[in-house]
Amino acid sequence: MRQLGKSLRIALGFCALTALQSHAQLQQPPQQQQQAVIRFVRDPDPAPELKAKDLNGQDLNLEAYKGKVVLLNFWATWCGPCRAEIPSLIRLQEAYKDRLQIIGMDVDDDEEQLRGFAKNQGINYPVAMTSLPVRLAYGGIGALPTLFVINRDSKVVQKHVGLFNPALYEIEVRALLDIPVPVRVETFQDTGEIFLTHADRATMLPGVDTSKLTPEQRIAALHKLNADTCDCGCKYTLAQCRINDPACSLSKERAAVIVSEAAKLPSKDAPENSAAPPSSTPSGATDAPKRK
């Protein structure tokens, strides 16, 4: 019965992944219907080292997990979409604990607050505070959550920005573990979608120029872009709207104002002095950070 339950859960996950494609495919002639596809980078770059300590004070590095698939998740406790996917990540870690390692890299929280949150949520994978060098090494992390999929050779093969269907994560993990999956696996040449050679460019969201900001000011700007919701009706944060809809004039204009305000902040105080967003946001958007 346990094995049957697991098989049913996986099958339901596969159904969830393909459900959005089913309606469109039914509108096409049979010869045009396509199988669901997942994509990995053809010649992936090595994942940058973490050089961090988890909440227990233990060294956290990717070398220790070589041979396992790693899901490296950049998030924050005040980010609504980040919180929403934690139960699925917990279940995924438990289901594949011998061959998968999820790592949570918190980008902007007080350590004691993070410790209490992780305990209350029952997070069963390592969690660490993200240093500025690590954040920049992974492209600046313009929107939350951002999850990097790392293969068993410690190379980055995919990146997901925003809240994704947990069934997709499971299928990608199974494919990288050479477990059969009912999807077609394709490879592509990365030209900057996943892991930029010049990672500093990734700190600029589409149409948002942060090149004149100091690293501290840039983080303050990105924090607010990830906390404030766009007014265009998309229910995304400003950062997510810029990524998903670069043509949106509302998010572009508000982002420009935020960057301008961040440029006036003293560099050493920029993250702490960044303005706090409203305490409530629509479903699917990030919540306001809680400050002491």
pLDDT-wise least confident of 34-38, 181-185, 280-284: 280-284
- Look at the domain 2-20+35-188 and name its fold: Glutaredoxin (3.40.30)
In order of 5, 69, 101, 122, 192, the CA distances from 98 in angstroms are 19, 10, 8, 19, 32
- What's the mean pLDDT in 172-194? 88
Name the active-site residue from 79, 230, 241, 248: 79
Q: Which of 14-23, 108-117, 187-196 has the highest mean pLDDT?
A: 108-117
Annotation marks residue 15 as catalytic: no
**Domain residue spans in the chain?**
2-20+35-188, 204-273
- Tell me the per-residue pLDDT of 72-91, one tens digit each, with 9 for 90 and over: 999 999 888 899 999 999 99
What CA–CA distance (Å, rounded) separates 225 from 2?
A: 44
- Tell me the per-residue pLDDT of 247-275, one tens digit each, with 9 for 90 and over: 899 999 999 999 999 999 886 544 333 33
In order of 83, 145, 202, the CA distances from 120 in angstroms are 12, 20, 33
**pLDDT bucket at 204, cuts 50 / 70 / 90:** low
Position 245 scores a pLDDT of 77
Average pLDDT, the chain: 78
Position 285 scores a pLDDT of 34
Residue 143 has pLDDT above 60, yes or no: yes
Position 268 scores a pLDDT of 57
pLDDT-wise least confident of 22-26, 141-145, 166-170: 22-26
Annotation marks residue 79 as catalytic: yes
Cβ burial, residue 212 (10 Å; 0-12/13-18/19+): exposed
Q: What is the pTM of this model?
A: 0.64
Name the active-site residue from 15, 82, 232, 241: 82
In order of 117, 160, 272, the CA distances from 144 in angstroms are 17, 10, 19
Position 137 scores a pLDDT of 84
What CA–CA distance (Å, rounded) separates 223 from 200?
A: 17
What CA–CA distance (Å, rounded) separates 105 from 124?
A: 14
Residue 48 has pLDDT above 70, yes or no: yes
pLDDT-wise least confident of 10-19, 101-110, 281-290: 281-290
